[in-house]
Structure 1
Amino acid sequence: MNASAFLAAALALVLSAGVALSQSFAGLGSDAEGFALPERGYVFDFPADHGAHPAYRIEWWYLTANLTGADGVEYGLQWTLFRSALAPEERPGWRSPQLWLGHAAVTTPEAHYVAERRARGGIGQAGVIAHPFEAWIDDWQMAGADMQRMRLTARGAEFAYDMRLEAQGPLIFHGENGYSQKSASGRASYYYSQPFFEIAGTLTLPDGPVEVTGQAWLDREWASQPLGASQISWDWFSMAFDDGNRLMGFTLRDSAGPDYTAATWIEPDGTTTAFPDGAFSAEALTESRVAGREIPTRWRAVLPEKGVDVTVEAINPQAWMATSIPYWEGPVRLSGSHRGRGYLEMTGY
């Protein structure tokens, strides 16, 4: 699900209503009157669906990457663009109800570099064009003739990156043909991914440039009322195993009842199996002191139907996103029944 993209909705609440920034994300279950809601049976239309959907309140273009330098050092990279709407429409210029938020990060074993950008819609500062594909906020950009081959750039006070992406497999649709249920009450989003990117380029860090290669995972999702009223936070895992299989799994934590889980098993040729609530589980094993709080940075993730029982361990436990609405996100190593690398996102801690 790459659920941190729901941060865009929280940003809209903050900017439009003046509410205090909070570790609780329960407001994402608030009423979305007037906005469109996902429905089963939606037929995706490309390249149009690579672009924005103003009739929905929340949307994101979310890329993470596991990278390796020539000396074997492991890195993580994040590039995200969130759109949230104050009204279910688009209007020109400063009258646009669209709000945009960008996050970029680079994680090393010793450091975590973060930058954030904010923008209003309608004035050209941020946006997405479906074809030829371009997503941008200020000078940050993810763009290409299509979503198969793209250039990715971003910069912050202490870092920058310039990367090339090339897809080596098909798009993946989560849940029921892209209809991804998020609660027992039926809250849902439209959700597809491109988990087969090869990525290469240059990280510019305080000690100088580093040439890197690796694998990247892009999530695309849009919704209007994605959480149940008592769902408050989540843990999201993307896993790329050494045998070529991949796994996406998430847990949505509920303050009033059982947590809700879902998962997608992805084979090397792109064949998928969707798993419903209860099939996937994640158990926190070890906590680290991060940004003044205790956060689990070592997990056990299990999907028995596929023989998965892995330990998920942060490469850098201090991968804290000190942004407008803070959360944890960083690269992880996988060991146990399957070995590999991936990304972990956690909110509400």
Structure 2
Amino acid sequence: MRVRLLLALLSLVSTLIAAPLRAQGYAGLGSTAAQGFATPERGVPLVFPRDHGPHPDYRIEWWYLTANLTGPDGTPYGIQWTLFRSALAPGEARGWQSPQIWMGHAAATSATDHHFAERLARGGIGTAGVKTAPFEAWIDDWRMAGDDGLSNLTLTARGAEFAYDLRLSALGPIVLQGDRGYSVKSADGQASYYYSQPHYRIEGTLTLPSGPVTVTGQGWLDREWSSQPLAADQSGWDWFSLSFDDGARLMGFRLRGTRGDFTSGTWIAADGTATPLSPGALRAEPLEWRTASGHRVPVRWRLTLADHDLDVTIAALNPSAWMGTRFSYWEGPVTVSGNRNGRGYLEMTGYD
């Protein structure tokens, strides 16, 4: 009886934790549920290491790392590590009075397999959180930890069929996205605070059902927080983080809405100099669609950016890289070919 009661309570807690996340979903990020929360303002400087930590007066926030890795035999892999914070109300409190909800997603992807896992936790009781001195982000036994400036990190996560233990070293500067970290997401002016560390060199071990693999590669960390980053008519996004063989990088996104698409991003030169893109400068055209876990998604794209003479094709390493989590999406490594070559990551949300 006690076992059944415990299972029932755990199920109830899981439902209560997941419900607001599902309610916000992707279209929900443009809802009026942001009332009472803080909103980003243009011209407010980001301050480090303070802004590596949480911002509980904002409704949503994430610490989002993706990496393109290679095994000793040249086999390509990708991994994802994400910690989401979602608030039921602004502010923080101790224990179960905390209005903060935490969710973790982790994945490991190859050309033939895609493994993912999810964690849920309530804030205030120590099972999940972020601190800055020194930096540590965690949920259960998943950890991203390092120095105050995010220059050197260790990264661990595990699921039923995968695990990884990685070491990251930044070889370039942090990049402030948009207007010095103020990233506009719609013609109506919705925005987030957004910065990245796109210059990580990575080494470590990836463990798959076939056994451990020594891997090396490059990683990209995104940090973003807001309260209503989408307009009411926007239902999802296509987000690209691309690292080219010549050292340049591109962050670009397409937000889909009934009034048309909104695209923007940042061009990052090989020396780390960042140039924000004007809305509409980046053109993202789906070329091929596939069905992944019952969802039809574009897995090959043409991206063009006239200002930087860019004309490339983006192709998914594994078209089936669907994250079947409580609110689901597609996320996986991609290859870049055309007048520039490289690797990167693609995230697509809001596809039914």
Q: If the TM-score is normalised by the length of the shorter chain, which range does it land in?
A: over 0.9
SS of structure 2 residue aligned to 1:103:
strand
Alignment partner, residue 181 of structure 2: 178
Q: How many residues get paired?
A: 335
CA contact (8 A) 1:16 1:86 kept: no
Deviation at 1:20, TM superposition (A): 10
Give the SS at the match of 1:27: helix
Query: Aligned equivalents of 1:212 and 1:68: distance in 2?
Result: 5
Which residue, out of 288, 291, 294, partners 1:289?
291
User: CA separation of 1:19/1:211 partners in 2, compared to 1, >3 Å: closer, same or farther?
Assistant: closer
1: distance between equivalents of 2:267 and 2:295? 32
Shift of 1:145: 2.2
Contact residue 26 and residue 350 of structure 2 kept, 8 A = yes
Contact 2:129 2:139 (C-alpha < 8 Å) held by counterparts:
yes
**What residue number does 1:166 align with?**
169
Partner amino acid for 1:26? A
Aligned to 2:253: 250
Higher Rg: 2
Matches within 5 A, 1:136-215: 136-146=138-148, 147-215=150-218
* Amino acid in the other structure paired with 1:33: Q
Aligned to 1:235: 238
Misfit runs of 4+, over 6 Å: none
1:149–1:164: 8 Å Cα contact kept in structure 2? yes
- With structure 1 as the length reference, what TM-score do the two structures score? 0.93
Query: Residues of 2 paired with 1:190 and 1:300: CA distance?
Result: 28
Deviation string 1:152-182 (CA, Å, 9 cap, x unpaired) is 0000000000000000000001110000000
- Does the aligned pair in 1 maintain the 2:143–2:156 contact within 8 Å? yes
Which whole-Å deviations, capped at 9, do the CAs of 1:255-299 have from their partners, x for residues lacking one?
A: 2x0211101000111111101211001111011121113211110
Contact 2:21 2:327 in 1 (8 A): no
**Residues 243 and 342, structure 2, Cα contact 8 Å, conserved in 1:** yes
**Quick one: distance in 2 between partners of 1:113 and 1:89?**
35
The one-letter code of the counterpart of 1:305 is D
SS at match of 1:185: coil
Any conservation in 1 of the 2:56–2:90 contact (CA below 8 Å)? yes
Shift of 1:19: 7.4
Tell whether the 8 Å contact from 1:235 to 1:250 is kept in structure 2 after alignment: yes
Q: Which amino acid aligns with 2:79?
A: L
CA distance, structure 2, for counterparts of residue 43 and residue 322 of structure 1: 37
Work out the CA distance in 2 between the residues paired with 1:180 and 1:92. 32
State the partner residue of 2:110: 108
Gaps of 5+ in 1: 1-13
Q: Distance in 2 between matches of 1:225 and 1:289?
A: 30
Partner of 1:126: 128
Query: Structure 2 CA distance, aligned partners of 1:36 and 1:15?
Result: 24
Name whichever of 307-316 and 20-29 sits farther off: 20-29
Distance 2:88 2:295 in 1: 32
Write out per-residue CA displacement over residues 163-222 of structure 1, whole angstroms, 9 at most, x where no aligned residue: 000000000011100000001111000000000000110001100000000000000001
Q: Whose RCO is larger (CA < 8 A, sep 6+)?
A: 1
Task: Check conservation: 1:237, 1:343, Cα contact below 8 A.
Answer: yes
Distance 1:75 1:274 in 2: 29
1:263 counterpart letter in structure 2: G
Rounded Cα–Cα distance in structure 2 between residues aligned with 1:134 and 1:30: 31
The CA distance in 1 between the partners of 2:24 and 2:48, in whole Å, is: 36
Query: 2:53 touches 2:130 (CA, 8 Å); kept in 1?
Result: yes
RMSD over aligned Cα atoms:
1.5
Q: Which residue of 2 aligns with 1:11?
A: none
1:170 is paired with a residue of what secondary structure? coil
Provide the C-alpha distance between the structure 1 equivalents of 2:17 and 2:246, rounded to a whole number of angstroms.
47
One-letter amino acid matched to 2:29:
L
- Show the counterpart of 2:335: 333
In 1, the alpha carbon distance for the partners of 2:20 and 2:122 equals: 19
Q: Residue 28 in 1 paired to residue 29 in 2? A: yes
Deviates more, 1:142-151 or 1:188-197: 142-151
Judge conservation of contact 2:17–2:120 (CA < 8 Å) in 1: no
CA contact (8 A) 2:38 2:58 kept: yes
Report the CA distance between 1:24 and its aligned residue: 6.7
Q: CA 1:125–1:19 in 2, change beyond 3 Å: closer, same or farther? A: closer
TM-score, length of structure 2 as denominator length: 0.93
Q: Does 1:64 align with 2:66?
A: yes
Distance 2:123 2:99 in 1: 7
